[in-house]
Structure 1
């Protein structure tokens, strides 16, 4: 026990000098007296001190005579509801009058003190007293729970830490918890670390790998010790449950199981029961039995194994010719995560049936398939197996129907279903690919499997025009700015991928861009002319329109636009030379002796227009009553209609009207004076040549024609007689020929068969080879070819027939 006393003896000093000091000194003493009332005494006492324990002597510390304590009525006043101290007025000692529990007064604090006041009367004095309550080790460490349970997996690594609960001690300082210790064991150690200035924490550290199969529960005791003397302690029971992991594989009871079965064993006949055990527990020890497929043999097609009991029974036909014994691998797999398995061997001896069809197994189906998948993209893996032996076990697989896929052989009976053509989701969203697998047995057996392949959409469709080339017909002289055509493209994609814009590409000529001739509305596709067209200067031109969608990346397509200018009848016929020469006088001369049909002149004219607008016709505009001449409406040739007479004029002015066939019709005229002369020597033309004269049909020509016709008739009659003589049946010239059958099919193909049919044919005696066409109805298709048969069955390919209905010619 100790004490500190802070006493100012102001009262005593004032009593001795009060009457002798000047006024100023008295004021100082009064101030000193005021300070004395704030003086504080400090004592200390241990908690749990016995009643009557002396804490300190107030009379001595306050320097008051013991005899004055009663007179001045010394009292102790406490601020607490409970009084822990009182004063002995006889001795002035401050005593403990009640039990002091520091943990009750000052819980969870490092320092604890009680403040009391000592009051003196006559004169009134107030002294503050602070009593420090010192801690003793009267509390043992304790844990909030009696037992701590830890679930630790047996797969935990050494060095892993597990935090343990902290012990609580109501004491402070050196009497609080200072250390922990762990009961001896081979698996764990204790690591104690300082958490704060006055507390410790403990962690459980794994020192050795756990094995549930050796020890599933580990019991430990954690002891907390305080720093008191003697030390006090508290304990915590720790129960460590080692959690099982799937670290043990199942084990079969036998390394090899053997059984016998006849090929005629009924279904569900039990063969053998396999058994396996697992040292793990719970779900890790639950075992599932199954067969393991090896090579082309799948045990599940013949045998069945109970996944829970391991009983193996017959579920299919056993074929001795296929296998004299079945070497089966059995798998025992536990249900742990991850699961562990073991393989066992079962040898089943069998006796004899060959009735197994190929089996098609589809694995790794990639569905849906993007419609832009490249050629040879693998869609699915296909396995074809056949349990038969020799040729009966050899299989071939192929696809049925026309689909953009193909089967590619990877290895033996393993196939890849790959893309073999372009895919278009907009056309077909799903293909049902049918695979047929056929063995090479006799008779062959086959099986089919349908694989649904879904096609997913990508932006693979460019805008489509209804046709690759568009012909646009525009009348010449049409108005500028008129819409000559509306181009439209359709994109089967959706949303932005189907939003189409139009643009012009290509040049009208090397010097003039197409954009100066026509323009296109990028959104509607309206093509507008930017100039008026003249057919005689430009009758056709070509450009391309590109339609682009808004996809990423954008796709586009082009259409060729042929603009054909339609001719308007805006040009008059033009007379050609010599009758069009400027300043010339058009005149022709004919002899007086000219016969009917005598050639006078030929008018030639052209029209810059085309078609019907350029189709010209010629007409004569003669004086009234003159019917001497006529003109060919299409040739423009002027000829006489009859012989001359004495009443005819010597000069005949003719006006030739040349008209086109347009609407309305345009025309041109030319005037010709025809002069009648007495002799042909006087005939001269403007071109200085003698016009062609059409002579009448002479008697010599008639005789020559009669002779030619007679000779031809005689030759034809002779030829007919010769053929009839050669082909007469009585002479044996007609023979029945057995022709091989050539059969045509609806798809355009044909086949040759040695099965013959009898036909009557005619052979010539002077030829080595005669030709005959032998056809069963209907005739071969248009793409048939000529086939020669040179005796026997030898075929020789000849040229393809040029006509539409081509046939196959059999030459004998």
Structure 2
């Protein structure tokens, strides 16, 4: 390499020397020389001394295009300033010389410099295109020639001399034609018969190589397409296509895509598909095929239950002349899906079913089927609700609906039964068949009243035909079996008045029951003084066969009204006369007494002068046939209204001195006393009392004559002899002791009762109590056990029973004859009545009788002394019925025992003093 450079330099020096000799400098430089390469020592070659080039300003004259060389101002050398490209500067011209002008100033002088750019192999051969497409017919014979365009090289000389080679191919070769022309011809020659179906496209590489050192190459791809002829028939990729489709495939579903290929090309490879035939032929319109794509699609619905297998014969033909065709077969198997729900038919139905039908009775016959197959066609059946019917399989697909439990029409009158069937598919399909099974009625229920005992309250003096109550018995049966008729079955009147008067009388003489509505009517006005309690039974009978009946007890309590005025009693020992006015005097000393009533109806009484205040002069006796408040009497001094020497006890009827008597008072006083009850409106009676004032001895003689006139065997109601005073005092002591003991027992019973009432205990439901009697008034109720009631004798008057229990438990009757389906339930009618409120009190008439029979000293004891306050209405009120029934009953028994003992002692004292 170094030797080559030296040779080049010697050549340049020689050329420079020659140029100087001829007045011109010539240089040579290879193309692509680097910038800064020294081309030649221009200043030295021009004969300039060192430093002279800079002093005389040696420079190149600018020309039209930019020069690729320059002169160094310091050294005067010619240098390469930019890239030199011979092909750009001269193209294919040879040689490539550049003419430069050099200017030298001081003095001015011009030199011509010739610069030759030599070629190097820097350009590779280039084909006109990177790829050349050729089309050659499949029937072309070997030796056929096809011209090709060669490559070009921008270099010159040996660097531009090209040679060609072709990639390996058994069908083609390359050949250059030698001719006198400057351009050689290039040909592609067929060496072997072409087969498009074997190799449709041949891809070859043509390479051009130049003569440079080193050589450069260029390539071009030859794409040779073999043109087709119709020499091949279409071939399907399968002779038989096996397809499986579910029967629920929708219309338009792709069944299969058949594909036939033709080795030919163009129209010879274009295939048209068609269906030759379908087995079975009856469903030719079930499938369609796309003539271009070969897609076979459904045009209808498949049904496994109709056809399970289809065969389609397909033909594929190309578009050649004549056309060639191929064939294949598509076998379609239809899969069963669960698309058929079970079906349930009722083949026989025996309704209505009597409610007394035995278990196992066949109600209906059913048939069940499913068109599907396999698990999809296996059906299981059941009944909903599960009771009271069930299914029994008789044979395949047949079932019997049988009775599994006893029926009760009153509980369920009609059954809505569903026979449900479900197959074994996934998802399972089901079917339902509703059956309406009515239950026919039999007479198996007796009429039932809402209560076993009805308590009815009726005021006396009611109008005949008045409605007293309404009873209703429920019979859950229907039609005639549930149609109820009512009648009074048995019963009798009760009460003191009825027993003493007409005796036993049938209840049907007092009341009547409407056969259809159950209303209880009064046949006649009721009188409390005659009839107090009427107990009878009402029977309800249905119209079934055989008829059934139910009973209810009705306790009719007659409520008292103030329809009797007070009646004044005659003196003791005299015969009572209806409407007679009488009076009786009672005195604790011999100085005051009462004589017999005069013929004019005036009572005569005597009082001694000087009698102290509070001395009892006389006692007015009266009784009222009514009871309660209507029989509670009060006594008022009507005349004289001004302040006089006498006064009358408001509730005792005792006429006593209001102040000590003296001679200033008149000898005789006439008192008009009014006896009035507490009824609404109040009724009254009047008594006239004439009181004579005498000396003490005269008063004693008058009292003696009055006692003698009454008879030695008779007892005065209020008078007593003087000799028995000592015995009376002793008896009073024992009586007080007994009363205190009984009162203590009574208070103990009250304490125990209160403790049992308010002590915390578990809740106890109250039930209907025993048979009770009732008495009521405007001021409250007086209650007492029926088994402990007493009949008290008030002097010579009639016996009265005034202590009763108030226990109304009669519910309001239904508003009318409601329809069968709107009648209330038994739970609403047969609710447990509340326990009655056991308040008890003394009757007013009992109190009046007691005061009329007891001696003045006993009255004083009861009132707290002779001059003590008036005795008030005795009332003992207990709490409502407690929850602990056992303790409460014990306490009630203790109280009742105490009251009984107290009553006996009072009766005993009354008899004793009488």
TM-score (norm 2): 0.31
Q: Whose radius of gyration is greater, 1 or 2?
A: 2
Higher strand content, 1 or 2: 1
TM-score (norm 1): 0.34
Higher helix content, 1 or 2: 2
Higher relative contact order (CA 8 A, sep 6+): 2
